[in-house]
Each structure stands twice: as C-alpha cells, then as structure tokens.
Structure 1
Amino acid sequence: MEKRISIIGLNLSVFLFMFGVGLIVPLLPQKIITLTGSLKTVGYLASAFAVPFVLLQFPIGRLSDRYGCRRFLVAGYLICSASGLIYCVSNTQEMIFFGRLLQGIGEAPLWALAPALLSMLYPAAKGKVIGAYNASLHLGLTLGSGFGILMAGVLVKNEPFVLFALSGLLGAFLIFVTVKDPRAEGSGVETALDTGGLKKILAYPGILAVFSGIILYGAGYGISLTVLPGFLIQEKGFTQAQIGGFFTLFYIGISLSQIITGPVSDRHGRTKTMILGLFMITAGLGMFPGRDGWGIYPWLFLASCGLGVFCVSALSWLNNAVADSLKGTISGAFYLFWGIGFFTGPAALGMFGKAARGFTGFHVLAMLFLLQALVQWGLGYGSGKIGLGRKSDFD
C-alpha cells in the first residue's frame, strides 16, 4: 500500500507542477521584453535555467544515494515555488533571471531522482512506473500550455505565476506526506560510490554506448523545440497554428509512447526497445524533410514516439545496471548527458543547417541515430557484472 501511495504522490505532484510550468513558460519572454524593450536578453532565459539544471544533476544524484531521494524532491519543489514568488514581484530583468536560476536548481532533482526512487520501489516493473512518471510530466506540461492559451484573457498580470508557486508548494506537500524512500534517510553512511566504483561503471562499453545515445536523445529533444519549428516555418511555410499542432503531437507522442513502452520493456528487454526507439527516430527525421503540409505530421509524430521509447528504455536500463546505492547517481548522469545533447545539438544543427538549408542537417542527424542503433545492436549486452557487489541484468 505504501508503494502505491508513493507512486500516486510522485505522479500527481509532477503533473500539477508541470501544469504550472506550462502556464508560465510562454509568459517569461514577454515579461523580459516588457522590462528591457529588447529581444536580445530573451535567449538568456534558457541558459539561466539550463546551467544549474545540468551541472547539478550528478552532484544531487550522488547526495541522494547517500541521504535518500525524498528530502531532495521536497527541497526541489520548495525552491521552484520560491522562484514563482520571485517572478511575481520581479520588476527588473535581474530578478527574473534569478528566479529562472532558482527554477533550474529546483527542477534538477524532479527529473532524475523520482525515476531512481521508482526503480527501487518497483524493481520488477521499473519501465512501467518510470514511463508513467515521465508521461505525467509531459502531460502536465502539455495541458498547462493549452490551458494558458485558453485562459489568456482571464489570467492576467501575476496570476499564472501565483499558480505556479502554489503548484510547487503543493508538490512539496504531496511528496512529504505520501512518498517513502526505501533506504534509510539521513544515515550519512558512504555508499558504493567511490572513484573506483564510478570508473568501473563508466568503463563498461554498454553503459558508455547508452550514454552516447542519451546525448543524441537530448539533441533530438532540443532540436524538436528550437531548430525544427524554425525549419517548418521558413522552409515548409507552417503557420503558428500548425506549429502549435506540431508541439501538441510532440508531447503526446513522447507521453503515450512511454506509457506503452515501459511495460513492454519490462517483459521483453530494454535493449530491444532502445534500439526500436532509435530506428523510429531515424525514420521520422529522415523522411519528414521530403514531405509537405499534413504529410509531415506522421513522420514527426513517429520521431517523437521514438524519443519517448528510447528515453524510458535507457533510463530503466541504466537503473537496472547498478545497485540501489547508485540509483540516484546513474539517473543524475542520465540527465547530465541529456543536457549536453540538449544544449549543443540545436546549435550544431543550426550552424550546419544554415549552410545546407536544413534538409541535409536533419538527414545527418537521422544517420547518427541509425549508427547509434547499429552500435547498440552490435554490442548486444548479454549479462554481466560491473563490480559493485551484485549481478546486473543488462537486458
């Protein structure tokens, strides 16, 4: 019963919080423009969030393995709630950037530690529960954005930021009262994570291969939110309404595919579903540039589903490859490598696409995903040990 209450609390808290995120993300650029009268500083909003989010993934994962995940999840929601209050009272761009910095700090544990905790609570069904959690996250973001559009004339001034702050506060409360960490919290005892143990993990070819796929996954995710919409507008003549349709399909594809793939990966093996996801992304990114109008949507939807399939499979695979004492560390490493791809991929493709009118750039990216699939297929990953005290089931 405690496990079921914990998973309900984790999913409900992240759904409500991401609903709040969906409300405010479209408003922050306008708030910056209103204060500065310039578009130049808008781009820094992403950086102010991204830098702490990426840099803190591994340290927070390591600390959670020592002290437990629950307290860091509660702290993350409270920090995000504080950032919402700062947005409410901000009258300078510096205050907005400070709020965005806090939001990046607060969200770091929410993405990584909850999957780590779920994999310990449900070791035999980690794909299913991690997929449901990630789907709840993306569903909240999608519905929050849609609700913000529908209520644009009703929610004025600081009301969305107040709702965002309340969503963080409610998330902290739900985690505090519903979630149980299977490890003893606050013991302060060192875990198996030492320099030698970490080197053994990173020295395993299968894990390195998965991490390279995660970098590509992050690049594909970031490109889908930045370069791809620009390509659709400039090269395919998409309207803003059509771009909105693309984003809706993107989030639905990622959410739905994770819900479906999680249980499948538990039954049939995560390596198979990882490779399937990579092939789906390859097909979607490789085929859509040659299509026009409505013919583009099915291929982009296939690519977004592939991203979701790979995400839940890779995250479950990594959590299955290490002992419980390293769940937080390995999940933090997942989002560290994801962040590397997320913030370098769009810039790289943007520069390449500018020289080749975008078309060749997406085909090159598709070929990289295909190469990644072939590498993982070739490695095979039977079963083995990574020297941390138990056999790891590399499925």
Structure 2
Amino acid sequence: MANTKELSRTRKAALFVVAIAIFTDMLIYGLVVPILPGYASSLGVSQTAIGFLFSSYAITLFIATPIFGLLSDRIGRRGPMLWGLLGLAAATILFSIANSYILLIVARALQGVAAAVTWTAGLALLADLYPPEERGKAMGIALSGQAAGTLLGPTVGGWFYELGGYQAPFLFAAGLALFDGVLRLILLRDIPSSKSENYLSPFKVMRDRRLLIIAGVVIIGASVPSVLEPTLPIHLQKHFNITPGYIGLLFAVPTLSYGLLAPVIGTFSIRIGHIKTIIIGLIMVSISLPLTILPDTIWIQALAMGLLGISMALVLTPSLPELANVSEQSGVNAYGLTFAIYNTAYSIGMMIGPMISSTLTDVFGLKLAYIAVGCIIIFYLPFMRTLIRENKKKDLSVKV
C-alpha cells in the first residue's frame, strides 16, 4: 500500500515538473511571435528570411533531438532536463541583447537545442512512469502545459513589449526560467533513474511503418501553428490595424482552446481510438486553417483561430500515446529514443511550416498559401487507412 502511494506521488511530481517544463519552453518560444517579425523586418530582412529565422529553432531541434534522446536513455532523465533549462536561459539572454539578424538566428537556434533536451527527456520520463492505459490522460495534461505556454507567450510578449520595450519580455522570461529551475531541482530529486543498457539504433526503431505514419501526423500537427507565425501577424496588423499586444491575444485563442481540450481529448481518444481521433483532427485542420485568413471582423477571426486550436489538439494529443504504444508493441522500451522520434518529427513540421508559408505567400499571396497547405493535409488521409490496416495485422499476429 505504501509503495502504491509513493508511486502515485512520484508520478504526480513528474507530471507536474514535465508540464511546467514544457510550459516554460513554449512560453519563451511564443514570446517572440508578435515581436520578431516586425523587429527582424526593421533590420532590413525579407519575409523569406523571417521564415528562415522561425525555422532555425526547428532545424536545431531536428539535429539535437536524436542525440539527446539516446543520451537520456543511457544516463537517465534528470540530468538532461536540467541541461535544457541552462540552454533556455542562455537563449533568453541572447535574445535580449540581439541587435542583428545573425544574433537572432543564434538565439532562436539555441532555443531549439534546449527544447530538444527538455521535451525528449520529459516525455520519456512520463512513459517510464505511467502504464499504457494512463498515458493518454497524462500526456494530455502535459500537453496542456504546451498549450498554456503557447497561449501566454504571444500575449505576454506583445504586452511586455508595449509596456517596456524590446528587452522587457526577455527579463520576464529569465525570471520564469529561474523559477522553473528551482522546481526541477527539488521535485526531480527522488525520481527513479531509467536507463537502457543496450544501444538501440534509430534506424531499427524506424523500421515499423506505423511509427513512420504517426511521425508524419506529428509533422503535420507541428507545421500548422508554424505556418501562421511568420505570416499571420503581418496580415493581422495590416488588415485590422492592431498592435502586437492585440495580435498576441489573437494567437492566444487557438492555444487556449487547445489547452482546455487536450486532457479531454486524451481521454476521448482512449474510448474511440487514437487513430480515429487523429483522422477527425486532420479533416478539421484542413478546413479551419484556410478559414483563419477570411474574416473581416476581430470576433470572427478569434472564432476561426479557436476552431484551429481544437483541430490541432485532435491531431497531436492522441499521437503521443499512440507512438508509445507502437513502440511498446514492437518490443522497444527505450522511450527517450521513441520520443526523440516524436521531437524530430515535430521539428521537421516546425521547420517546413514557416518556409512553405513564407515562400508561398511571397509568390502567390497569403490566401492561396493557406489553401495549399490545407490540401496537402487532406492528401495524407490515405496513410491513416494504411495505419488502421497495419494495426489490425499486428493485433491478429499477437492473438495467434
């Protein structure tokens, strides 16, 4: 009985720390959304260059994720989570002093490395501690931290910028990172160390076709908000003549709807199946993304962005537990590596989203760019049918 209570306390502490860690990372990530496009533009760079600036986060996230995924399996989760915080603090300081496009690139890239460490080790820690039947709910709660951070980031960034200038948002972020560091040191002190004795190649894990299809879903889910970030703030400023503070509030709407519904969707997806939930989400995203460019009033704009947030939650929330389940069914329990794959897929989405949207916007305009992305998402649905067939084959082989 005592062991059961202790395990419950350990799980709750880990879930709280991971949710706060993800919240902090995403808040500082989103902090620059209403500021960076205009600030970078004032330095004389093009819309395509601004798209690359946003993508630099994802590029380093992509490079660093497999490295730290393997490392967290070998040495445990606690150390990497502390390293991630140090990287995030350094990135925040660089942002505060950046007076050139190159320094902005370096700061954003370092932010991506820090996220690779924190996300991979944190999600692997939850998979270590929670059984399959509880992972959907636990990871839904953790992703609420992501949504809350993304929700508050643009809002906090926009209003602190208006109140105190360019450096004010980053001073706030530095204080938040300090608070997060204290939590990680205290609450992770008694977390059991989970290490993998054997080296596992990422290529061995990626042989499972189901895992590759889920990785594609994550790429789509991650690309959707990153499509908006370098392009929509400029459109909103011109179309509605609003300030960065109000742009931040509009960007808060999809993340608010995402955060409120992520735990509910995590439970819902267990009942109807993760794959069916993802399919519903993909259809909704393909419709709601182009809708964000059509409204002529602020209130309808907010409504369209709220619908997009719900759609993203339906895509991403079931992807995490489904990825862990596929990994487990394949006999691979190195969750650091498994969630490194999730992070790698997420980083690819974040990397290609700004590049595609910025380039298409430069060539064809914003409306056609968003419609094209929506069509690409629809074209992915046949892969989900393949995933359903693969799962049925796996179930039959297990029964036999």
CA offsets per residue over residues 165-187 of structure 1, 9 Å max, x none?
A: 333233233223213555445xx
Which residue in the other structure is 1:215 paired with? 219
What secondary structure sits across from 1:325 in the alignment?
Answer: coil
The correspondence for 2:311, drawn from 285, 293, 306, is 306
Q: How does 1:302-381 map to 2 (within 5 A)?
A: 302-323=307-328, 325-353=333-361, 355-380=363-388, 381=390
Cα distance, 1:23 vs. partner?
A: 4.8
Residue among 286, 289, 302 paired with 1:282: 286
**Separation in structure 2 between the aligned mates of residue 382 and residue 184 of structure 1, nearest angstrom:** 28
Structure 1 position 353, deviation (Å): 4.9
Residues 104-253 of structure 1: matches in 2 within 5 Å?
Answer: 104-123=112-131, 124-152=133-161, 155=164, 158=167, 160-179=169-188, 181-185=191-195, 189-191=197-199, 193-194=200-201, 198-199=203-204, 201-230=205-234, 237-240=239-242, 243-253=247-257
The verdict on how the C-alpha distance between 1:378 and 1:239 changes in structure 2, with shifts beyond 3 A counting, is farther
Decide which moves more: 141-150 or 73-82. Answer: 141-150
The residue number in structure 1 matching 2:5 is none
What is the DSSP-based 3-state SS (H/G/I as helix, E as strand, rest coil) of the residue aligned with 2:198? coil
The one-letter amino acid of 2:138's match is: V
Q: Which residue of 2 aligns with 1:62?
A: 70
Unaligned 5+ runs, structure 1: none
1:251-262 to structure 2, matched below 5 A, reads: 251-262=255-266
Secondary structure (helix, strand or coil) at the match of 1:190 reads coil
- TM-superposed CA distance for 1:356, in Å, is 4.5
CA offset digits 1:191-228 (Å, max 9, x no partner): 4x136xx33x4233322222222222232221122334
Task: Supply the distance in 2 between the matched residues of 1:361 and 1:88 (Cα, whole angstroms).
Answer: 32
TM-score normalised per structure 1:
0.80
* Structure 2 residue runs without a partner (length 5+): 1-8
- Alpha-carbon distance in structure 2 between the residues aligned to 1:218 and 1:80: 20
- Contact 1:81–1:167 (CA<8 Å) still a contact in 2? no
Report the equivalent of 2:14: 6
After TM superposition, the structure 1 stretch with the greater mean CA deviation from structure 2, 224-233 or 311-320, is: 224-233
The structural deviation recorded for 1:18 is 4.3
Equivalent residues of 2:17, 2:184 under 8 A apart: yes
- Conserved 8 A contact 1:24-1:161: no
The answer to whether the 8 Å contact 1:275/1:377 transfers is: no
Deviation of 1:84 (Å): 3.1
- The CA deviation at 1:162 is 3.6
Question: Deviation at 1:53?
Answer: 1.8
**Higher mean C-alpha displacement, 375-384 vs 123-132:** 375-384
For the aligned residue pairs, the C-alpha RMSD in angstroms reads 3.5
CA distance in 2 between partners of 1:224 and 1:27 (Å) = 14
Counterpart residue identity of residue 128, structure 1: K
- Provide TM-score, normalisation by structure 2: 0.79
Q: Distance in 1 between matches of 2:20 and 2:394?
A: 36
Tell me which of 80, 83, 86 is aligned to 1:72: 80
Q: Could you tell me the percent identity over the aligned residues?
A: 22
- Indicate if the aligned counterparts of 1:75 and 1:172 stay in contact, CA closer than 8 A: no
CA distance in 1, matches of 2:181, 2:51: 30
Equivalents in 2 of 1:297, 1:96: separation in Å? 30
Q: How many residues align?
A: 379
